[in-house]
Each structure stands twice: as structure tokens, then as C-alpha cells.
Structure 1
Amino acid sequence: MIRKLNEQDRAALLAFLGKDPALNLFLIADVENFGFDQDFQEVWGEFEPENGQIKAVLLRYEYNYLPYAAGPFNVQGFADIIKQDERMEMLSGSASIAGLFNQYISFRKEKSMHFAELKELDGEKSVPVSAEISAQRATLQHVESICSLMDGIEEFEVSPESSRSNMRRTLETGTGRTYFVERDGRTAAAASTTAENSMSAMIVSVATHPDYRGEGLATLVVTKLCSDLVSEGKSLCLFYDNPDAASIYKRIGFRDIGGWSMMYR
């Protein structure tokens, strides 16, 4: 049976999602932050007929859909819900789950990423590169300096205005944090989290100024960021599509746990 979930389902839903907190990062964060009564968000659940326990979940955030299941589920039932939304833009999720929807929904484009998780730091490899350099936790007064670093990184396509407003919002709401290091009076490297929730967080926006690459600064800030969150009992995750660029994460303990697909209608 599939039905729309409500506030009375919160505890059972979060317990179900909490069995895989990294993979369910976005689902957990959206439910914790926005609940079940928002115009821009809806959540459906499929239940086991024998015991009434949740076996699969589908979340709509704006025009994007995210399914999750711990085992076999009613793919067609979820697909029928999605197809009723003419404004639907994207379906994303674990590659093994998202791929099941291809037989029911036509997609024009699919982007695949590697998905990695960190549960505990590799202590031997996570030692900072230099005792003389320390990573600082950013506050609102550091937003301009850190975003100026991001402005100069070609891989980041967010506009300067958006990057600043996004960072301010995550710092103000506590849904993300940033660590950075300074060299010669400017931000030399930084790393952030997003979608932080009670169980997990995602690493994003890892950057090093071109003048300071090869010095281990990115490793330092990512290690400090991860150490912070692991000490709070949270698991961390990240997407990557360049195996070479992922070497920094593998050194401190990230392990691949599967693929992630973003499928555009």
C-alpha cells in the first residue's frame, strides 16, 4: 500500500531512513527541516502489508523527486505518482533504485556520480600537514573572503551573488558549516558541508587557491571538518565524478558505497 505521509509518520520514517543515514542525507534533512505540510514538499510511503512497516519512500521537493527503498518495492506505483506532475524536472537517488524508473518514465538525460561515505577518520592519514597551520571555522564575517576564493575556481558555476547568499543562509540556519585556512592575508583553502541533519551531512565546495595547491591545505580543512562531524556521531558523504580528485577523500577514510544518478525528464 502507498499513501501520503504526515506528521504522525515522522518517528517511523526517520527510524527507517536512519538505517542508512548517508544515502538518505537529503530525505532526512528535508523531513527534519520542512516536515509534511509544505506546498513545495510531499512525502509518500509504501508499507508492508503484513506488519504495516515502511518499506519505501518517495519525496517531492519542488519539481524534483527522490525515491528510497531497502529492498523490492512498487516502482510502478511511485512512477505513477511522479507522472501526474507535469512540472516534474528530475529524479535522483541511488543508481540501483533510480535506474528502475527507466521502464516507466522517459528521461532525456542522466548524470552519474560516485557516492562515498565516511564513518570514521583514518587516524594515521588524517594528521594535519603542519602544526603551524590551523583551520578556522567560518562565521558570517568570513563569507566574503571565502566566496572570493570560490569565484576564482573554474569548476564552481554558482554566481557570486548566489554563493554568498547560500553560505550566509547555511551558516545562519545551522544546515552547514565551513572551515578555511589563511595564507598571506587571504583565504587559501576551504571546505563546507550542506544538508546537515541529526544523522549526517554532505561535503561540498572543497577548494584551494591556485597559488597554494600541492601543500596539503585542502586535506587539512576537509580533515578538520570531518573530525568535527564524526565527533558529533554523524556520518558524512559526498559525490564525485573524477577519481583522481577523490584521492584526498580516500586518504582520510571515505569509502565508495555505490553510484548516484540524476535523471532529467
Structure 2
Amino acid sequence: MIRKLNEQDRAGLLAFLGQDPALNLFLISDVENFGFDREFQEVWGEFEPESGQLKAVLLRYETNYLPYAAVPFDVQGFADIMKQDERMKMLSGSTSIAAQFGPYISFRKEKSMHFAELKELAGEPGAQALAETPAKLATLRDVESICTLMDGIDEFEENPDSMRSGMRRALETGTGRTCFVERDGRTVAAASSTAENSMSAMIVGVATHPDYRGQGLATLIVTKLCSDLTKEGKSLCLFYNNPDAASIYKRIGFRDIGDWSMMYT
């Protein structure tokens, strides 16, 4: 049985999603931050008919849909919900789950990335390393210098205005933080978290200026950021498709747990 969820379902839903907090990062964050009664967000759940236990979830955020299930679920039932929405633009989720919607929804484009999780940090940033290269936590006054660094890096394709407003919003709402390093009067390396919630967070925006690469700055700031977050009891995850970046993440302790797909209608 599939039905729309409401505030009375919050505790059971978060307990269900909390069984896999890294994979369910976006679901947990959206439910904690926006609940069930917003125009831009809806949540459905599928329940076992006999026990009444929640077995699968589908969330709509604006024009994007995100499904999750730990066991076989009513794929067609969720697909029917999405097909009734003419505004739908994207389905995203674990590739093993998202791929099941292929027979029911026509997608024009698909993008996949590796998905990694950090359960145990491989090491802390050394005191000497931090003394030699102080890593700072960003405030609102640092947003422009950090985004200027990202403007000059080809891998970052986000609209400059959206990048700046998104970073400001994350800092203002406490849903993200940024760690950065300055050299020669400018920001030369940075890494951020996003979608922070009570259980998990995602590492994003890892960047080093081309003139300062090969000095271990990315490893230093990502390790510092991950250390702060894991001490708060958060499970960490990230997407990547760059082999060079993967080597940094795996030294810190990230391990691949699957792939993540974004499927566009």
C-alpha cells in the first residue's frame, strides 16, 4: 500500500531512513528541514500490508524525485505517481534503485557517479601540518573569495550566482560549512559540506588552485572537515568521477558503496 506521508509519520520515517544515513542523506535533510506540508515537497511511503511496516519511500522536491527502498518495492506504483506530474524533470538515487524505473518512465539522459562513504577516519590532520597551513572555517565574509577560486576551475560548472547564493544559504541555515586555506592573500584550496542533518552530511566542492596543487592542501582540508563532522556523530558521503580525487578520498578513509544516478526526463 502506498500513501502520502504526514507529520505523524516523521519518527517512523526518520528511523527507517536512519538505517542507511549516508545513502539517505538528501531524504533525511529534506524531511528534517522542510517536513511534509510545503508546496514544493511531498513524501510517499509504501507499507507492508500485513505488518504495516514502512518498506519504501518516494520524495518530491520541486521537480525532482528521489526513491529509496531496502527491499523489493512497488516500482510501478511509484512510477505512476511521477508520471502524473507534468513538472517532473529528474529522478535521482542509488543506481540499483533508479535503474528499476527504466521500463516505466522514458528518460532522455542519464548521468552516473561513484558513491563513497566514510565510516571511520583514517587519520587526523597533524598539529604541525595545521600549524604550517592553517585551515579556516568560512563565514559569510569569505564566500566571495572561495567562490572566486571555484570560478577559475573547469570542473565547476555551476552558475556563479547560484554558487554564491547556495554557499551563503548553507552557512546561514547551518546545513553546510566550508573549510579553506589562504596563501599569498587569496583562497587557494577549499572543501565544503552540504545537506547536513542530524545523521549525515555530504562532502562537495573540493577545489585547489592549479598553482598550488601537489602540496597536499586538498587532503589537509578534507581531513579537517571530515574530522569535525565525524566528531559530531555524522555519517559522511560523497560523489566522485575523478580518479585523482578518488585517491585523496580513499586515503582519508572513504570506501565505495555503489553508484548514484541522475536520470532526466
Compute the TM-score of the two structures, normalised by the length of structure 2: 0.97
- Measure, in 2, the Cα distance between the counterparts of 1:92 and 1:34: 19
Tell me what 2:16 maps to.
Answer: 16
SS of equivalent to 2:132:
coil
Tell me what 2:188 maps to.
Answer: 188
SS of equivalent to 2:227:
helix
Tell me what 1:134 maps to.
Answer: 134
Tell me what 2:216 maps to.
Answer: 216
Shift of 1:244: 2.8
Shift of 1:198: 0.4
Q: What letter matches 1:248 in structure 2?
A: I
- Measure, in 1, the Cα distance between the counterparts of 2:244 and 2:168: 31
1:132-211 alignment runs, 5 A limit: 132-211=132-211
Shift of 1:160: 2.3
Q: What letter matches 1:3 in structure 2?
A: R
Moved over 6 A (4+): none
SS of equivalent to 2:170:
helix
Q: What letter matches 1:61 in structure 2?
A: Y
SS of equivalent to 2:156:
coil
- Measure, in 1, the Cα distance between the counterparts of 2:167 and 2:110: 28
Q: Which moved more, 1:11-20 or 1:238-247?
A: 238-247
Tell me what 2:83 maps to.
Answer: 83
The question of 1:253 aligning with 2:253 is answered: yes
Tell me what 1:122 maps to.
Answer: 122
Q: Are the aligned partners of 1:28 and 1:197 in contact in 2 as well (CA < 8 Å)?
A: yes
- Percent identity at matched positions? 82
Deviation string 1:1-20 (CA, Å, 9 cap, x unpaired) is 00000000000000000000
- Measure, in 2, the Cα distance between the counterparts of 1:174 and 1:7: 23
Deviation string 1:66-114 (CA, Å, 9 cap, x unpaired) is 0000111010110111110111111110000000000111111111110
Q: What letter matches 2:212 in structure 1?
A: Y
Q: Are the aligned partners of 1:129 and 1:220 in contact in 2 as well (CA < 8 Å)?
A: no
Shift of 1:185: 1.1
Number of equivalences: 264
Q: Are the aligned partners of 1:129 and 1:217 in contact in 2 as well (CA < 8 Å)?
A: no
CA separation of 1:134 and 1:20: change in aligned 2, threshold 3 A: same
Q: What letter matches 2:180 in structure 1?
A: F
Shift of 1:245: 2.2
Q: Which moved more, 1:207-216 or 1:155-164?
A: 155-164
- Measure, in 2, the Cα distance between the counterparts of 1:71 and 1:154: 40
Give the unaligned 5+ runs of structure 2: none
